[in-house]
Amino acid sequence: MTMARAVAWRAGRFAIDLAQPRVMGIVNVTPDSFSDGGAHASAEAALRHCEQLLKEGADILDIGGESTRPGSPAVPLDVELARVLPVVREAVKLNVPLSIDTYKPEVMRAVLELGADIVNDVWALRQPGAREAVAAHPSCGVCLMHMHRDPQTMQTAPMQGDVVPEVLSFWAEQVAQLRALKVDPSRITLDPGIGFGKTAAQNFALLARQRKLLEAGYPLLLGWSRKSSIGTVTGIPAAAERLVPSVTAAVLAVDRGAAIVRVHDVRDTVAAIAVWRAMKAEETHSQLTRQQEQVP
């Protein structure tokens, strides 16, 4: 069984149309990002990057003030707030859905008060007070991601066994707890957590069997961009040089039902999805033509 694309994702100020796949552009306001080396660490640079990603076709912006790459240290609350709040304060004026990549409930409350639309949490709201912070907001969107262990240890001892049922079971539990707080299902998306405590083989199993993940009943958000598993299978060690395989993975994810893809390389991903959309439109047209020809 597969699920048809959801009509919309309720996300704060917006109802994001998911009839076609959407591109979420990554804005790292960190000095130690695995992918861009802190190129957008200042508020001014981050805002310029936001504007550039929108010009390239991003539908959603995802701002993060703490790196969650494998082995990355936790960032103190005051440091994350100092990084993120000045960017959010200005970025909300861009009139685009604004997602904040954080697991700290204090940050969630602060950015939602400033007008951010989405909480994108690698911990799936499992930190104390996080669910309540989201539930207290009347309409913010939320993405619940599967992560095995934590960013400090997830790749030193990745999970074992069949990853697909494990992810589905985890999602079911986290969604149930959020729904118990009266959060409307239209606000929820799910992320299988590519690279978060999984082997390369498990990550590609999630891609190969992604249609099975649709059975969870919520829109899927996939983040393959520049991940180490791509480096493993391509032999490209530098994250910033993984553009082509990252775009390939994004299109494969979209073809298997992803509603949103989270990427660094917005322009190239948008262009690749345009090619996919043209192919799907012609495929649909051809199917309708054949059906009409068969009508007596």
| 83-130: pLDDT as tens digits | 999 999 999 999 999 999 999 999 999 999 999 999 999 999 999 999
Residue 175 lies in a domain: yes
CA separation for the pair 116, 107 (Å, rounded): 11
Instruction: Point out the catalytic residue in the list 83, 109, 227, 256.
Output: 227
Residue 87 lies in a domain: yes
Residue 133 lies in a domain: yes
> What's the pLDDT score for residue 291?
82
Active site residue 209: no
Contact in structure between 213 and 170 (CB atoms under 8 Å): no
Q: What is the DSSP letter of 104?
A: -
List the strands of the sheet with 98-101, edge to edge. 188-191, 141-145, 118-121, 98-101, 60-64, 22-28, 260-263, 221-222
> Picking from 185-199, 218-232, 280-294, which range would have the lowest pLDDT averaged per residue?
280-294
Residue 1 lies in a domain: no
Residue 142 host element (H or E): strand 141-145
| 196-247: pLDDT as tens digits | 999 999 999 999 999 999 999 999 999 999 999 999 999 999 999 999 999 9
The residue among 18 and 286 whose pLDDT is bigger is 18
- Which amino acid is located at 212 in the chain? K
Active site residue 262: yes
The residue among 279 and 295 whose pLDDT is bigger is 279
Number of domains in the chain: 1
Q: Tell me the pLDDT of the chain averaged across its residues.
A: 92
Determine how many CB atoms are found less than 10 A away from the CB of residue 76: 11
41: confidence class by pLDDT, cuts 50, 70, 90: low
Residue 3 lies in a domain: no
Determine how many CB atoms are found less than 10 A away from the CB of residue 77: 15
Residue 225 lies in a domain: yes
Instruction: Point out the catalytic residue in the list 109, 242, 256, 262.
Output: 262
- The parent domain of residue 286 ranges over 8-293
Q: How many residues does the chain have?
A: 296
Contact in structure between 130 and 123 (CB atoms under 8 Å): yes
CATH code of the domain covering residue 217: 3.20.20.20
User: Tokens representing 18?
Assistant: 């998911």
Q: Which pTM value belongs to this model?
A: 0.92
Task: Please state the rounded mean pLDDT for residues 122-146.
Answer: 98
Residue 2 lies in a domain: no
Residue linked to tokens 């990603």: 53
